[in-house]
Structure 1
Amino acid sequence: MVMVKSVLSVAHKGFRDWAIQRATAIVMGIYSIGLIGYLLFNPGLSFAEWHTLFSQDWMKVVTLLFILSVLYHAWIGIWTVFTDYVKLYVIRCILNFLVLFMLIACFFWGVLILWSV
């Protein structure tokens, strides 16, 4: 029973990452289609109109969800690439740390920009 449990937990992590990547891709796609649609139906937007759009709380929340989706999607993808192609454990850990640090910094930078509007 213990052997089956450990095998399932490994398979579950792979499936979970796969499912999260698909979910984040859907969030990014919906946001992108919505923003492109807004641009197509409102050609020649001025800075004031952009500012008005992004100063609304619902747009800030949706954009924050988009930012989180992009960063989590990137983390899973890069972690998978490093796991598959970087064989030295120490180098892989250093690269993972650097990428994770960069992604966290990008998150706070995005929040700072988004909430300063």
Structure 2
Amino acid sequence: MNKNYGSQRIVVGAHYGLRDWLSQRVTAVLMALFTIVLLAQLIFGAELGYVRWAGIFSSQWMKLLTLVTVLSLAWHAWVGMRDIWMDYIHHVGLKLVLQVATIVWLVACAGWAIQVLWRL
């Protein structure tokens, strides 16, 4: 039975919306958890100085939580920036350049943060 109403086009990429929405929410919750833990360490700890700051990040669980937060932040930023580039940049070549530049920038920032974290 043929229907002669509605759209006959095939929608591609629509299933990515839920995954992106969910990843934004999960990474936001992880970043909020990290913020709460860090604020608790700062508020209930001793006087803030280099020794105290280095002490906060010296334990393995805090290094792991910080690593997860840095990776979550990078993924969160990537999903947001990718959506902005896809929605507002219409020239394919410029869109590709901006997406690659964003990936390079986020990987470099995450790598630098990890290097700083594990140097403590």
Tell me the TM-score range normalised by the shorter chain.
0.7 to 0.9
Please give the residue correspondences for 1:1-117 in structure 2 after superposition, counting only pairs within 5 Å: 7=11, 10-42=13-45, 44-117=47-120
Letter in 2 for 1:90: G
CA distance in 2, matches of 1:66, 1:11: 28
CA distance in 1, matches of 2:61, 2:89: 41
CA-CA distance at 1:16 after TM superposition: 0.3
CA distance in 1, matches of 2:86, 2:98: 10
Show structure 2 runs of 5+ residues with no match.
1-9
In terms of mean alpha carbon deviation, does 43-52 or 106-115 score higher? 43-52
Q: Which has the larger Rg?
A: 2
CA distance in 1, matches of 2:81, 2:16: 16
CA-CA distance at 1:48 after TM superposition: 1.2
In terms of mean alpha carbon deviation, does 21-30 or 41-50 score higher? 41-50
Aligned partner of residue 11 in structure 1, secondary structure: coil
Q: How many residues align?
A: 111
Runs of 4+ in 1 over 6 A off after TM superposition: none
Letter in 2 for 1:30: L
